[in-house]
Copies of this chain bind each other. A is one copy, B any other.
Amino acid sequence: MDNRWMRISVYLCQVMAKFQVSILGCGSATPTARHQPSCQVVDFRDKLFMVDCGEGAQLQFRRLGLKFSRLNHIFISHLHGDHLFGLPGLLSTMALHEVSGSVTIHVFRDGARLLKEWMDYFNRNSPFEIIYDVIEEGERRIVYEDSGLTVETFPLYHRTPCTGYIFREKPKLRHLKGDMIKFYSVPVAQLQAIKEGADFVTSDGRVVPNAHLTSPADPSVSYAYCSDTLFDKRVAEAVHGVDTIYHEATYDDSLADKARERGHSTSRQAAQIAEMAGAKRLIIGHFSKRYNSEEILLEQAKEVFPEVILANEGLRVDLI
């Protein structure tokens, strides 16, 4: 391979392996000098998926060097302003950047109605179509699917209807064993089927089991977004088996009553959900503005579940 093809191959491998979340905002209701309101972007093989879109999201998006042209789906968890007031500005700026095609916004019915009213007025010359995918309260549904990924909803328990999202890689292809493929002279045309698990039949009718020709696929990984929500075991059940969980952790232990009253969780409760769900890793965010440092939230979570990461604006976590 010459250098050009080598570079292209390396790039394609990187893209095909990419499954990353970037935190654009991990504060709660009031933006502060330390934290922006809720927003994050999942990058799956260079397609971008935004989850929640608090005020200022468009600027954070550009600060992180993300590309508007790769953003076609935005998932809104619930209809509190700190989770969606960035949408009008983001969509208007995307229109100015001449993004084409469509952007689908997954959102509860009232949000779709209110957003449409504004966008029909303020974004009426948009070069892209805005599609509203209405989510119903309590719904579990695959709201996005492509060849490599699904995104599904599940209920959260807040003061208003609220949905979480699970991003799941689809099962990956098995790895070909080069020497065996060569040994059996498998035609190129059959390689895809074999990577998908098919056996091979030789020209003299002998069946070569797939396991002789391939080694197991890499495991598929998954990511769940849980904000905003009370501590509720049903959340752990819904995200059971998910590898990485983002869970809100608005308060520390001393404010557990306030958390319950306001439909939020403490960081310890977030860790309990991760523990119950059998997760590998927990990212906590949606921090109350009262904290000048979230170390106490991290400490209390780690007492329950060791693999905790504090969200922060600009943080990128590889999910693979």
Give A89-147 interface residues, CB cut-off 8 Å to B: 89, 92-93, 96, 110, 114, 117-118, 121-123
Question: Which residues from chain B contact A29 at a C-beta distance below 8 Å?
Answer: 92-93, 96
Our pick among B55, B89, B121 for the contact of A58 (Cβ within 8 Å) is B55
Sample 17 A-B pairs with CB under 8 A, ordered by A number: A29-B92, A30-B96, A31-B93, A33-B62, A33-B63, A55-B55, A55-B56, A55-B88, A80-B122, A81-B122, A82-B89, A82-B92, A85-B88, A85-B92, A114-B118, A114-B122, A117-B117
Instruction: Mark A11-53 against chain B: 1 for CB-CB distance below 8 A, else 0.
Output: 0000000000000000001111100010000000000000000
The distance in angstroms between the C-alpha atoms of A86 and B59, with both chains bound, is 13
A181 on interface, CB distance cutoff 8 Å: no
Consensus secondary structure, chain A interface: helix
Chain A residues engaging chain B, CB cutoff 8 angstroms: 29-33, 37, 55-56, 58-59, 62-63, 79-82, 85-86, 88-89, 92-93, 96, 110, 114, 117-118, 121-123
The distance in angstroms between the C-alpha atoms of A81 and B96, with both chains bound, is 12
The distance in angstroms between the C-alpha atoms of A30 and B91, with both chains bound, is 11
Our pick among B56, B63, B82, B123 for the contact of A59 (Cβ within 8 Å) is B56
Question: Which residues from chain B contact A92 at a C-beta distance below 8 Å?
Answer: 29, 81-82, 85
The distance in angstroms between the C-alpha atoms of A88 and B122, with both chains bound, is 15
Question: Which residues from chain B contact A118 at a C-beta distance below 8 Å?
Answer: 114, 118
